[in-house]
Amino acid sequence: SQTIHQWPATLVQPVGSPLSLECTVEGTSNPNLYWYRQAAGRGLQLLFYSVGIGQISSEVPQNLSASRPQDRQFILSSKKLLLSDSGFYLCAWSEQPGTEAFFGQGTRLTVV
Amino acid sequence: GESVGLHLPTLSVQEGDNSIINCAYSNSASDYFIWYKQESGKGPQFIIDIRSNMDKRQGQRVTVLLNKTVKHLSLQIAATQPGDSAVYFCAESVAGRDDKIIFGKGTRLHILP
Protein backbone atom coordinates (compact mmCIF):
# COMPACT_ATOMS: atom_id res chain seq x y z
CA SER A 1 0.00 0.00 0.00
CA GLN A 2 1.03 3.58 -0.51
CA THR A 3 2.20 5.78 2.31
CA ILE A 4 3.32 9.37 2.56
CA HIS A 5 5.83 10.63 5.09
CA GLN A 6 6.29 14.24 5.99
CA TRP A 7 8.69 15.63 8.54
CA PRO A 8 9.25 17.24 10.91
CA ALA A 9 5.83 17.43 12.57
CA THR A 10 6.60 20.75 14.24
CA LEU A 11 9.30 23.31 13.67
CA VAL A 12 10.17 26.63 15.27
CA GLN A 13 12.60 28.73 13.26
CA PRO A 14 13.93 32.29 13.65
CA VAL A 15 13.24 34.94 11.04
CA GLY A 16 15.92 34.88 8.37
CA SER A 17 16.85 31.25 8.85
CA PRO A 18 16.61 28.67 6.04
CA LEU A 19 13.93 26.04 5.74
CA SER A 20 13.81 22.53 4.35
CA LEU A 21 10.73 20.35 4.68
CA GLU A 22 10.83 16.90 3.18
CA CYS A 23 8.09 14.65 1.89
CA THR A 24 8.44 11.13 0.54
CA VAL A 25 5.93 8.72 -0.92
CA GLU A 26 6.23 4.95 -0.88
CA GLY A 27 4.41 2.27 -2.80
CA THR A 28 3.79 4.12 -6.03
CA SER A 29 5.76 5.49 -8.95
CA ASN A 30 5.57 8.80 -10.80
CA PRO A 31 3.01 10.35 -8.47
CA ASN A 32 1.77 13.91 -8.74
CA LEU A 33 3.09 15.75 -5.69
CA TYR A 34 1.73 18.85 -3.99
CA TRP A 35 2.66 21.34 -1.27
CA TYR A 36 -0.17 23.21 0.42
CA ARG A 37 -0.12 25.80 3.20
CA GLN A 38 -2.90 26.32 5.70
CA ALA A 39 -3.05 29.32 8.00
CA ALA A 40 -4.78 28.79 11.36
CA GLY A 41 -8.53 28.43 10.88
CA ARG A 42 -8.26 28.92 7.13
CA GLY A 43 -8.43 26.93 3.93
CA LEU A 44 -5.68 25.18 1.99
CA GLN A 45 -3.61 27.19 -0.43
CA LEU A 46 -1.81 25.32 -3.20
CA LEU A 47 1.84 26.40 -3.28
CA PHE A 48 3.55 24.00 -5.68
CA TYR A 49 2.76 20.89 -7.65
CA SER A 50 4.92 18.50 -9.62
CA VAL A 51 4.06 15.94 -12.27
CA GLY A 52 7.58 14.51 -12.55
CA ILE A 53 11.23 14.75 -11.50
CA GLY A 54 12.51 18.28 -11.87
CA GLN A 55 9.09 19.57 -12.96
CA ILE A 56 7.73 22.17 -10.55
CA SER A 57 4.79 24.49 -11.03
CA SER A 58 4.40 27.42 -8.68
CA GLU A 59 0.96 28.73 -7.87
CA VAL A 60 1.72 31.88 -5.91
CA PRO A 61 4.74 34.19 -5.78
CA GLN A 62 6.37 33.84 -2.42
CA ASN A 63 9.45 33.34 -0.34
CA LEU A 64 9.42 29.59 -0.87
CA SER A 65 10.67 27.16 -3.50
CA ALA A 66 10.16 23.47 -4.18
CA SER A 67 12.29 20.75 -5.70
CA ARG A 68 11.78 17.17 -6.75
CA PRO A 69 15.20 15.54 -6.89
CA GLN A 70 13.79 12.01 -6.99
CA ASP A 71 10.55 10.50 -8.23
CA ARG A 72 8.99 10.15 -4.80
CA GLN A 73 10.66 13.01 -2.94
CA PHE A 74 9.33 16.55 -2.73
CA ILE A 75 11.15 19.27 -0.80
CA LEU A 76 9.91 22.69 0.26
CA SER A 77 12.63 25.26 0.93
CA SER A 78 13.32 28.82 1.82
CA LYS A 79 16.61 30.69 2.00
CA LYS A 80 15.33 33.22 4.54
CA LEU A 81 12.11 32.73 6.46
CA LEU A 82 9.65 35.53 7.10
CA LEU A 83 7.14 35.79 9.95
CA SER A 84 4.39 35.40 7.35
CA ASP A 85 5.74 31.96 6.43
CA SER A 86 4.28 30.53 9.63
CA GLY A 87 1.55 27.99 9.01
CA PHE A 88 0.63 24.36 8.61
CA TYR A 89 2.36 22.84 5.56
CA LEU A 90 0.87 19.79 3.96
CA CYS A 91 2.37 17.50 1.36
CA ALA A 92 0.08 15.37 -0.78
CA TRP A 93 0.26 12.92 -3.66
CA SER A 94 -2.12 11.66 -6.29
CA GLU A 95 -1.75 8.75 -8.66
CA GLN A 96 -2.76 10.57 -11.82
CA PRO A 97 -4.78 13.55 -12.94
CA GLY A 98 -8.39 13.27 -11.95
CA THR A 99 -7.87 11.18 -8.83
CA GLU A 100 -7.95 12.05 -5.17
CA ALA A 101 -4.93 13.38 -3.33
CA PHE A 102 -3.66 11.74 -0.16
CA PHE A 103 -2.14 13.94 2.50
CA GLY A 104 0.70 13.65 4.94
CA GLN A 105 0.24 14.59 8.56
CA GLY A 106 1.59 18.09 8.05
CA THR A 107 4.34 20.26 9.50
CA ARG A 108 3.42 23.11 11.80
CA LEU A 109 5.98 25.85 11.19
CA THR A 110 6.29 28.79 13.55
CA VAL A 111 8.64 31.57 12.54
CA VAL A 112 9.69 33.69 15.52
CA GLY B 1 -12.27 28.81 -6.23
CA GLU B 2 -9.87 29.46 -3.40
CA SER B 3 -10.94 31.45 -0.36
CA VAL B 4 -7.95 30.66 1.74
CA GLY B 5 -7.96 33.99 3.58
CA LEU B 6 -11.46 33.74 5.04
CA HIS B 7 -12.40 32.41 8.45
CA LEU B 8 -14.19 29.10 8.18
CA PRO B 9 -17.99 29.15 8.53
CA THR B 10 -19.44 26.86 11.18
CA LEU B 11 -22.38 24.50 10.93
CA SER B 12 -23.86 23.24 14.21
CA VAL B 13 -25.93 20.06 14.05
CA GLN B 14 -27.63 17.99 16.72
CA GLU B 15 -26.21 14.52 17.19
CA GLY B 16 -28.30 12.05 15.19
CA ASP B 17 -29.55 14.64 12.71
CA ASN B 18 -28.43 14.84 9.10
CA SER B 19 -25.79 17.39 8.09
CA ILE B 20 -25.61 19.18 4.77
CA ILE B 21 -22.41 21.01 3.89
CA ASN B 22 -22.36 23.15 0.79
CA CYS B 23 -19.62 24.27 -1.55
CA ALA B 24 -19.56 26.53 -4.58
CA TYR B 25 -16.84 26.00 -7.14
CA SER B 26 -15.60 28.52 -9.62
CA ASN B 27 -14.15 26.72 -12.63
CA SER B 28 -16.77 25.52 -15.07
CA ALA B 29 -14.11 23.29 -16.65
CA SER B 30 -13.64 21.31 -13.42
CA ASP B 31 -14.74 17.75 -13.91
CA TYR B 32 -13.64 15.98 -10.76
CA PHE B 33 -14.67 16.86 -7.21
CA ILE B 34 -13.59 15.56 -3.84
CA TRP B 35 -14.74 16.01 -0.26
CA TYR B 36 -12.16 15.91 2.51
CA LYS B 37 -12.45 15.80 6.29
CA GLN B 38 -9.77 17.45 8.39
CA GLU B 39 -9.50 16.89 12.11
CA SER B 40 -7.57 19.29 14.28
CA GLY B 41 -3.82 19.14 13.71
CA LYS B 42 -4.04 16.49 11.00
CA GLY B 43 -3.93 16.34 7.25
CA PRO B 44 -7.18 16.14 5.25
CA GLN B 45 -8.66 12.71 4.72
CA PHE B 46 -10.53 11.64 1.61
CA ILE B 47 -14.27 11.06 2.14
CA ILE B 48 -15.90 10.71 -1.25
CA ASP B 49 -15.49 11.91 -4.81
CA ILE B 50 -17.66 12.48 -7.85
CA ARG B 51 -17.03 13.05 -11.53
CA SER B 52 -18.90 15.52 -13.65
CA ASN B 53 -20.77 12.83 -15.56
CA MET B 54 -22.69 12.05 -12.36
CA ASP B 55 -24.96 14.19 -10.19
CA LYS B 56 -25.10 11.96 -7.13
CA ARG B 57 -22.87 9.44 -5.43
CA GLN B 58 -23.38 7.60 -2.18
CA GLY B 59 -20.96 6.16 0.31
CA GLN B 60 -21.29 4.90 3.82
CA ARG B 61 -23.46 7.51 5.60
CA VAL B 62 -22.37 10.15 3.10
CA THR B 63 -23.85 11.38 -0.16
CA VAL B 64 -22.37 13.92 -2.55
CA LEU B 65 -24.59 15.90 -4.89
CA LEU B 66 -23.29 17.84 -7.87
CA ASN B 67 -25.19 20.59 -9.68
CA LYS B 68 -23.08 21.66 -12.63
CA THR B 69 -25.61 24.24 -13.77
CA VAL B 70 -25.01 26.42 -10.73
CA LYS B 71 -21.53 25.03 -9.93
CA HIS B 72 -22.59 23.73 -6.56
CA LEU B 73 -21.52 20.70 -4.57
CA SER B 74 -22.95 19.37 -1.32
CA LEU B 75 -22.02 16.71 1.19
CA GLN B 76 -24.77 15.05 3.19
CA ILE B 77 -23.87 13.14 6.32
CA ALA B 78 -26.61 10.91 7.70
CA ALA B 79 -27.15 10.44 11.44
CA THR B 80 -24.32 12.75 12.46
CA GLN B 81 -22.06 11.42 15.20
CA PRO B 82 -19.58 13.15 17.55
CA GLY B 83 -16.72 11.71 15.48
CA ASP B 84 -17.95 13.71 12.51
CA SER B 85 -16.78 16.93 14.15
CA ALA B 86 -14.12 18.33 11.82
CA VAL B 87 -13.55 20.81 9.05
CA TYR B 88 -14.87 19.70 5.68
CA PHE B 89 -13.37 20.88 2.41
CA CYS B 90 -14.47 20.44 -1.14
CA ALA B 91 -11.82 20.30 -3.84
CA GLU B 92 -11.96 20.51 -7.61
CA SER B 93 -9.68 19.61 -10.47
CA VAL B 94 -9.65 19.48 -14.22
CA ALA B 95 -8.67 15.90 -14.93
CA GLY B 96 -6.00 15.42 -17.54
CA ARG B 97 -5.09 19.09 -17.82
CA ASP B 98 -2.96 20.95 -15.34
CA ASP B 99 -3.19 18.41 -12.53
CA LYS B 100 -3.99 20.97 -9.88
CA ILE B 101 -6.33 20.17 -7.02
CA ILE B 102 -7.85 23.37 -5.69
CA PHE B 103 -9.61 23.52 -2.34
CA GLY B 104 -12.71 25.44 -1.39
CA LYS B 105 -12.98 27.48 1.78
CA GLY B 106 -14.07 24.73 4.18
CA THR B 107 -16.83 24.41 6.75
CA ARG B 108 -16.40 23.56 10.41
CA LEU B 109 -18.99 21.00 11.53
CA HIS B 110 -19.85 21.19 15.22
CA ILE B 111 -21.93 18.40 16.75
CA LEU B 112 -24.30 19.35 19.57
CA PRO B 113 -24.98 16.68 22.23
Q: What is the mean pLDDT of residues A73-91?
A: 96
Classify strands A10-13 and A107-111 as parallel, antiparallel or unpaired.
parallel
The CATH code of domain B10-112 reads 2.60.40.10
Across the interface, do B6 and A57 touch by the CB < 8 Å criterion?
no
Q: Is the pLDDT of residue B108 over 90?
A: yes
In total, how many domains does chain A have? Answer: 1
Whole-number average pLDDT of chain A: 92
Calpha distance B91→B4 (Å, rounded): 12
pLDDT given for residue B1 in this prediction: 42
Q: Which residues span the domain enclosing A25? A: 3-111
B94 falls in which pLDDT band (50, 70, 90)?
A: confident
Q: Is the pLDDT of residue B60 over 90?
A: yes
Across the interface, do B95 and A97 touch by the CB < 8 Å criterion?
yes
Per-residue pLDDT of B31-50, as tens digits, reads 899 999 999 989 999 999 99
Across the interface, do A106 and B41 touch by the CB < 8 Å criterion?
yes
Per-residue pLDDT of A33-65, as tens digits, reads 999 999 877 789 999 999 999 999 988 878 899
When CB atoms are compared, the residue of A44, A49, A92 closest to B4 is A44
User: Looking at CA atoms only, how far is residue B9 from chain A in angstroms?
Assistant: 10
Note whether B99 contacts A: Cβ–Cβ < 8 A. Answer: yes
What CATH code is carried by the domain that includes residue A74? 2.60.40.10
Q: Is the pLDDT of residue B2 over 50?
A: no
Residues of B in contact with A36 (CB under 8 A): 103
Calpha distance A7→A20 (Å, rounded): 10
Q: What is the side-by-side order of every strand in the sheet holding A73-78?
A: A3-7, A19-26, A73-78, A65-70
The type of residue at A5 is H
Report the candidate in A46, A102, A89, A106 with the shortest Cα–Cα distance to residue B49: A102
Please compute Rg for chain B using Cα positions: 14
Q: Please, what's the b/e burial string for B57-96 (b: 16 or more CB within 10 A of its CB; e: otherwise)?
A: eeeeebbbbbeeeebebebebeebeeebbbbbbbbbbbee
A-B contacts at Cβ under 8 angstroms:
82
When CB atoms are compared, the residue of A45, A90, A94 closest to B43 is A90
Do residues A108 and A19 make contact, with C-beta atoms less than 8 angstroms apart? Answer: no
Across the interface, do B101 and A45 touch by the CB < 8 Å criterion?
no
Residues of A in contact with B91 (CB under 8 A): 101
Domain segments of chain B as ranges: 10-112
Across the interface, do A41 and B8 touch by the CB < 8 Å criterion?
yes
DSSP codes, chain B? ---TTSPPPEEEEETTS-EEEEEE---TT--EEEEEEE-TTS--EEEEEEETT-SEEE-SSEEEEEETTTTEEEEEESS--GGG-EEEEEEEE-TTTT--EEE---EEEEEE-
Mapped to the 3 state alphabet, what secondary structure does chain A carry?
CCEEEEECCEEEECCCCCEEEEEEEECCCCCEEEEEEECCCCCEEEEEEEEECCEEEECCCCCCEEEEEECCEEEEEECCCCHHHCEEEEEEEECCCCCCEEECCCEEEEEC
Residues of A in contact with B103 (CB under 8 A): 36, 43-46
